[in-house]
Amino acid sequence: MAKPSDFAILQVLPQLETGGVEQVVIELTEAVARTGARALVASLPGRLVPAVERAGGIHIPLDLKSRNPFRMGWNGDQLAKLIKKQKVSLIHAHSRAPAFAARAASMRREIPFVTTYHGAYNQRGLFKRRYNAVMASGNRVIAISRFIAELVRERHHVGDDRLRIVPGGVDPVKFDPETVNGGRIDRLARAWRLPDGGQTIMLPARLTSWKGQEVMIEALGRMRHRDVTLILLGSAQGRDAYAKSLAERARSHEVASRVLFAGDCADMPAAYKLADVVVNASTDPEAFGRTIVEAQAMRRLVIASDHGAARETIVDGETGWRVKPGDAAALAAALDAALDLPVEARIEMGHAGRAFVSEHYSIAAMQAGNLAVYHELLG
Q: pLDDT for 186-207, tens place per residue?
A: 999 999 999 888 899 999 999 9
pLDDT for 168 beyond 70: yes
Looking at residue 128, what is its pLDDT?
87
State the chain's maximal CA–CA distance in angstroms: 69
Q: Distance between CA 121 and CA 130 in Å, rounded?
A: 11
HEC per residue, the chain: CCCHHHCEEEEEEEECCCCHHHHHHHHHHHHHHHHCCEEEEEEECCCCHHHHHHCCCEEEECCCCCCCHHHHHHHHHHHHHHHHHHCCCEEEECCHHHHHHHHHHHHHHCCCEEEEECCCCCCCCHHHHHHHHHHHCCCEEEECCHHHHHHHHHHHCCCCCCEEECCCCECCCCCCHHHCCHHHHHHHHHHHCCCCCCEEEEEECCCCHHHCHHHHHHHHHHCCCCCEEEEEEECCCCCHHHHHHHHHHHHHCCCHHHEEEEECCCCHHHHHHHCCEEEECCCCCCCCCHHHHHHHHCCCEEEEECCCCHHHHCCECCCEEEECCCCHHHHHHHHHHHHHCCHHHHHHHHHHHHHHHHHHCEHHHHHHHHHHHHHHHHC
What mean pLDDT, rounded, does the chain reach? 95
Looking at residue 70, what is its pLDDT?
85
CB 194, CB 269: distance < 8 Å = no
CB 319, CB 337: distance < 8 Å = no
Q: What percent of the chain has pLDDT over 90?
A: 89
Residues 159 and 247 in one domain: no
Residues 98 and 150 in one domain: yes
Residues 348 and 366 in one domain: no
- Number of domains present in the structure of the chain: 2
Across 82-86, 122-126, 142-146, least confident range: 122-126
Region 177-182 average pLDDT: 92
Output 313 or 182, whichever has higher pLDDT. 313
pLDDT for 2 beyond 80: no
Tell whether the torsion through CA atoms of 364, 365, 366 and 372 is positive or negative: positive
CB 147, CB 311: distance < 8 Å = yes
- Residue 123: pLDDT band (50, 70, 90) is confident
Region 142-161 average pLDDT: 97
CB 120, CB 148: distance < 8 Å = yes
CA 242 to chain CA centroid, Å, is 21
Across 97-111, 229-243, 272-286, least confident range: 229-243
Q: Distance between CA 277 and CA 300 in Å, rounded?
A: 6
Residues 28 and 90 in one domain: yes
Residues 53 and 70 in one domain: yes
- Residue 127: pLDDT band (50, 70, 90) is confident
Apex 148 CA angle, 142 and 152, nearest 5? 75
Looking at residue 197, what is its pLDDT?
82
Apex 113 CA angle, 109 and 118, nearest 5? 150
In CATH, what number is assigned to the domain containing residue 325? 3.40.50.2000
Q: Distance between CA 91 and CA 93 in Å, rounded?
A: 7
pLDDT for 355 beyond 70: yes
Residues 240 and 213 in one domain: yes
Output 126 or 169, whichever has higher pLDDT. 169
pLDDT for 134 beyond 70: yes
Between helices 213-222 and 240-252, what is the axis angle to 10°?
10
Residues 346 and 212 in one domain: yes
Residues 58 and 70 in one domain: yes
Q: Distance between CA 230 and CA 219 in Å, rounded?
A: 10
Residues 29 and 83 in one domain: yes
Q: Distance between CA 234 and CA 220 in Å, rounded?
A: 18
Residues 62 and 127 in one domain: yes
- Residue 1: pLDDT band (50, 70, 90) is low
Domain that holds residue 13: 4-169+362-378
Residues 111 and 246 in one domain: no
Q: Distance between CA 69 and CA 240 in Å, rounded?
A: 29
pLDDT for 4 beyond 80: no
Residues 10 and 76 in one domain: yes
* Burial classification of residue 18, based on how many CB atoms lie within 10 Å of its CB (0-12 exposed, 13-18 middle, 19 or more buried): middle
